[in-house]
Amino acid sequence: MEKTDLIVRFAGEGGQGVVTSAEGLAQVAAQVGYNVLTYATFPSQIMGGPTWTQTRISVDSVLSAGDKLDVLVAFNREAYDTHVGEIGIDGVIIYNSEEFELPDQINVLGMPVTQLAKSTGNPRAANMVIIGAIAHLVNMPQNYLNEFVTKRFTRGRTNDEQIISSNIEAMTLGREASAKTKIKLGTLAKADKSTAKQILVKGNEAISLGAVASGLNFYVGYPISPATTILVWMQQNLVAKEKFVYQVSSEIEAITALLGAGFAGRKAMTATAGPGLSLMSEGLGLGWMAEIPCVVVDVQRGGPATGLPTKTEQSDLLACFHPAHGDISIPVIAPGSVEECFYATVSAFNWAERYQGPVILMNEMSMAERAQNIPMPELGKLQVVNRSIYNGSNGYMRYAGDSVSPMPIPGHPGSYIANGSEHDPSGDTTHLASRHIEMTQRRFNKLKLLTNGTYESLNKEAPITIMPWGGTKGPSLEAYNLLAKQTTSLSWFYTMFLNPLPETLLTQLRKKELVIVPELNFMGQWSSILRSHGINAISITQYTGLPFKVEDLANRILDVVQSHEKRTVQT
Amino acid sequence: MTLKNPEYDFKWCPGCGDFGVRRALEFAMKSRLQEKEIPLVNNVVVAGIGCSGNLVHLLEGEQPYGFHGIHGRTLPIALGVKMGQPNLNVVVVAGDGDFLSIGMEHIAPQAARNLDICAIIMDNAVYGLTKGQSSPTTLFGATTSSTPFGKLEEKLHPLELYLSYGVSFIASGFSSKPRDLAKLITAGMDHPGFAIVHIQSPCTTYNDTYEELKGSVKKGIPAQLWDLPDTHDPSDRDAAYAAIKSSGWPLGIIYQNTDRPAFHQQVDKMISSVDSKTIDQLVAKYII
């Protein structure tokens, strides 16, 4: 029997090679043309601690990390005990027999992983032993593995050849250990290697690349999980003339420095998580009031307060919609896949320039660290919006008119006061009611420039709609595809442009009998916002710190649909 | 812009020290225009919230750029402006409440970086705009609207704080001497690094200290203000510390360290030592 999909979970202690094994397997598979997705969890400590990472490989596009495991790789007893319940019916367990013993049974393969690696002269090749064993289980050709190892370790060093051969040997040892048993998972169908160039990136890396592609030239940030990887990436890669990257002393410094830079003509960004977003509250209000473009990335984790720093959640939505006091509505974009992370970032910068104010880009822990193969972005074809700049003489009325006006750049004529107090067109403070009315309307008018965002739909006439947001898109679409085989009454709508929503999408959603919103929070935050738009929306919530499982979600959607239909018949 | 803009209704009280500080800042910007041909629009005045911050709206004549932000955050806004465009002359105007209470956390990092800006601090030891509450520089035991039974905190000594944080230019001035003050502000702007000009700028409504500052022979009150002698060497940190620890307020440039490179110079140096990558190169790193 041919398999089209392979789900492998690596579980153990931090530092045992859980992540490198999972990412190695993903790279092997991606290199020969499979679609891959990894899902990583982290213990909230520096060394050790239980951790697991999941790799899914498929001939089709991968939407979620997958429910039932084909293979569990257990590096220790605790990992086995914790995860054994997630193995599918025909699933296989691979474990490190140096750590613990399992009774001999079908579908269990114990290997002295470290010992096998050491015997190749390269103790660091333990993950290759495991990858070799897995490859045998699904009849993955050896040349795939050789190609991967050769590519990965050809680094122009004198010992390249030695490392390559020891890694290949390690994989062979794993393959042989696996071959000694009779365990088989079925042949993995051959991948259809696309001719288009692909890249393998994580969500936060896609955001970083998208920002640079948009012309980012000012980045400041403060370390916070799970946004730190963006700061670290920038410190490494945004070093160039006319660019500035720095770790500042707090999120308050980050947002206010961003505004100073935006005022000075820069394309500026910072990335944070919930606690940092809370600290940025007043600064975001200032950006809205003084009309200064900038992008703030919120990589969500479990909240409130310190919450669950290393778990995933979608509970910052209301905070992102209304991050500050007063009449304010900050534009929000939330990508739903690693690929969307790149393009959403480009859109966020374009929005910031078009309406001249802060834009919040929402990511979430599960996507931040998820590696996925995506088509290589065609940089030459990106639409990048640049600032509308004032080129006239002094005496400019910066805030005149009922929508966006060109921004003067300090150092050039057109001086004005960027003001967080209510102001007149010159930027001087005023308390006149007529000015407050005029300026409030101006600020909200500018949002109208952003209501032409794109969205997706399937079976769009059907009266009941599934409409997730952010990273819940993947599992929801997979659940939708399952349900679409059973019923035609379901439609699918999705957009990453949450505020303002695309106008034509709003019109369609208002006509629906019911809009079902799967989301990872207790309050049902997105459905409450949709209801405020006059849409009959209801949430399916989960707040476990983990993403939805597809089968669970499909069943819960079905329950909601059925009880809705029953109610409709009764009335 | 009051003279041109009748709609702007804020006024300083008669006798407010901030009038003199405004005049001094105008002198300083004009003298740099005349002597160094630095256009007015190359100046960015980042203002705090409070009576002193409103200075940015009250400047007369040709206008610099201004940024009137939120309470306590002048320094990080200035950080963004300066590092966004290092060729600009960035000036902070704020009071003792804005700068030393809510904004205190931002002083140490800018001092450590030696951010090339000039902060003009108007100290009246009171929150004026909110009508007379105690500030970090209000005297111990002082009765204010928020300390009706006396202030229970020791007063902060800002100059000592600046010196211990490593601020590379520290000057102390008095609002009633705008010509002298303009010289201090000009020197602070010229200094390649973090400059603070700390000014005694009394509040005639809530904390009128003119008499204590200037002294009164008639009433037998000794002056708190005293001029630093010509022999004072600002590059001598010990001498600076001694001046600060003497009673009263020394007037003049207390401390100046010109050995440290400014923050943007450090950044330039780092950039020139690293190979920068194009977006195409960055994307290429991830090709499968």
CB-CB contact of B223 with B213 (8 Å): yes
Calpha distance A65→A7 (Å, rounded): 8
Phi/psi for A52 (5° steps) reads -150, 155
pLDDT, tens digit, 9 for 90 and up, residues A380-393: 999 999 999 999 99
**Which residue range is the domain that position A144 belongs to?**
2-188
| A23 and A157 inside one domain | yes
Mean pLDDT, range A111-118, rounded to an integer: 94
CB contacts of A239 in chain B (<8 Å) are 270-271, 274, 276
Q: Counting beta carbons within 10 angstroms of the beta carbon of residue B247, is it exposed (0 to 12), middle (13 to 18) or buried (19 or more)?
A: exposed
| A264 and A408 inside one domain | no
Quick one: tokens of A86? 């997630």
> What's the pTM value of the predicted model, to 2 decimals?
0.96
Does the B18-260 domain belong in CATH 3.40.50.300? Answer: no
- For residue A137, which amino acid is it? L
CA A277, distance to chain mean position in Å, is: 17
CB-CB contact of A416 with B66 (8 Å): yes
Assign residue A287 the CATH number of its domain. Answer: 3.40.50.970
Given this model, what pLDDT does residue B217 score?
A: 95
Given this model, what pLDDT does residue B4 score?
A: 60
Residues in chain A: 571
Of the candidates A283, A226, A222, A228, which has an alpha carbon nearest to the alpha carbon of residue A250? A222
Mean pLDDT, range A233-250, rounded to an integer: 97
- Report whether pLDDT(A196) > 90: no
Q: Does residue A531 sit in helix, strand or coil?
A: helix
Calpha distance A227→B279 (Å, rounded): 21
Given this model, what pLDDT does residue B3 score?
A: 53
Assign residue A130 the CATH number of its domain. Answer: 3.40.920.10
| A225 and A270 inside one domain | yes
Give the nearest partner residue to A264 out of B10, B41, B80, using CB atoms: B80
Distance from the Cα of B149 to chain A's closest Cα (Å) equals 33
* Number of other residues whose CB lies within 10 A of the CB of residue B174: 24
- Rg (C-alpha) for chain A, rounded Å, is 26
Residue B248 parent element (H or E): none
CA B9, distance to chain mean position in Å, is: 25
CB contacts of B287 in chain A (<8 Å) are 197-199, 376
Residues in chain B: 288
Given this model, what pLDDT does residue A571 score?
A: 64
ipTM greater than cut 0.95: yes
Give the nearest partner residue to A213 out of B44, B69, B279, using CB atoms: B279
Given this model, what pLDDT does residue B2 score?
A: 44
Mean pLDDT, range A355-362, rounded to an integer: 98
A473: confidence class by pLDDT, cuts 50, 70, 90: very high
pLDDT, tens digit, 9 for 90 and up, residues B4-55: 677 887 899 999 999 999 999 999 999 999 999 999 999 999 999 999 999 9
Given this model, what pLDDT does residue A193 score?
A: 75
| A467 and A427 inside one domain | no
pLDDT, tens digit, 9 for 90 and up, residues A500-526: 999 999 999 999 999 999 999 999 999
| A223 and A79 inside one domain | no
| Whether A239 and B274 lie within 8 Å, measured CB to CB | yes
Quick one: tokens of A430? 């005023």
Phi/psi for A302 (5° steps) reads -65, 135
Residue A231 parent element (H or E): helix A228-237
| A307 and A426 inside one domain | no
| A329 and A415 inside one domain | no
Distance from the Cα of B189 to chain A's closest Cα (Å) equals 16
**pLDDT < 70 positions in chain B:** 1-4
| A397 and A424 inside one domain | yes
In this structure, is residue A193 part of a structural domain?
Answer: no
> What residues 265-284 of chain A have any CB closer than 8 A to a CB of chain B?
265-266, 268, 282-283
Calpha distance A330→A199 (Å, rounded): 32
| A398 and A316 inside one domain | no
Calpha distance A231→A222 (Å, rounded): 7
Quick one: tokens of B10? 């804020």
Give the sign of the dihedral formed by CA A511, CA A514, CA A518, CA A523. Answer: positive
In this structure, is residue A260 part of a structural domain?
Answer: yes
Distance from the Cα of A467 to chain B's closest Cα (Å) equals 32
A104: confidence class by pLDDT, cuts 50, 70, 90: confident
What is chain A's mean pLDDT, rounded? 95
How many domains are contained in chain A? 4
CB contacts of A283 in chain B (<8 Å) are 70, 73
CB-CB contact of A409 with A265 (8 Å): yes
| A415 and A476 inside one domain | no
A47: confidence class by pLDDT, cuts 50, 70, 90: confident
| A145 and A216 inside one domain | no
- Report whether pLDDT(A201) > 80: yes
| A415 and A549 inside one domain | no
